[in-house]
Structure 1
């Protein structure tokens, strides 16, 4: 019987991000129901903001989490996983909140920086480990 590989830090972040995606998806659906718009945004600014915030989360979070899992498999120290994963979580919440409420602002920019950093740090760690061998 083969031992199972478990990535506890990444698994926790995957669970949290999956749970965060539920209210984002519901927010889009509720606006569609209220506005009667079943496809695209129909020119509804609120729906468009919710769709883009949900879409941006969906476009970036999975790749960050995959990179995090690869880093954990490659032996990344806990402090790196927790701090960069935490930055990603804060960044995604900040970006979503800013985009949905005002559409623009410093929160959106900081949110993207806190998202792009993990997209550089986690793969950077993996590549460093691979080329170190």
Structure 2
């Protein structure tokens, strides 16, 4: 049974829903049903939401697989916290006007680091 990954999946899912509502609310305000209507704020919100959709599921899958392989709790929490920090920093950095480049860039660095380290840990657990 896994107990740590669902905690991080739950928080990331709440972030995802929040980002979804930001897109929906902008669509309603700008009266744009499909596409972006050349609305730069809507375009930005869509990209923030999409970026979360692109990276978070894969990262959570890797975290869950690592947990199923019996990785230590401290490693799982370290990777989960790295992912959370990365996703929140990126969403804040890209979603701000003007963008907070430091947060956007470092959010992606943390996300990539989590994915890379969790991938290597999964490989090592599978081999040994």
Fold match (TM-score > 0.5) = yes
User: Which of 27, 32, 46 is residue 27 of structure 2 equivalent to?
Assistant: 32
By how many angstroms is 1:24 displaced?
0.7
Please tell me whether the aligned partners of residues 70 and 126 of structure 1 are also in contact (alpha carbons under 8 angstroms).
yes
Corresponding residue for residue 49 of structure 2? 54
Q: Secondary structure at the match of 1:8?
A: coil
Matches within 5 A, 1:117-128: 117-128=113-124
By how many angstroms is 1:87 displaced?
1.1
Structure 1: state its 5+ residue gaps: 1-5
TM-score normalized by the length of structure 1: 0.91
* Structure whose CA Rg is larger: 1
Q: Distance in 2 between matches of 1:45 and 1:31?
A: 11
Please tell me whether the aligned partners of residues 92 and 100 of structure 2 are also in contact (alpha carbons under 8 angstroms).
no
Structure 1 residue 109 corresponds to structure 2 residue 101: no
Please tell me whether the aligned partners of residues 49 and 103 of structure 1 are also in contact (alpha carbons under 8 angstroms).
no
Q: Distance in 2 between matches of 1:116 and 1:92?
A: 10
Corresponding residue for residue 67 of structure 1? 62
Structure 1 residue 91 corresponds to structure 2 residue 86: yes
Structure 1 stretches of 4+ moved >6 Å = none
By how many angstroms is 1:104 displaced?
5.1
The two structures, once aligned, show a CA RMSD in angstroms of 1.0
TM-score normalized by the length of structure 2: 0.95
Count of residues in Structure 1 that have an aligned counterpart in Structure 2: 127
Q: Distance in 2 between matches of 1:40 and 1:103?
A: 22
Q: Distance in 2 between matches of 1:52 and 1:103?
A: 13
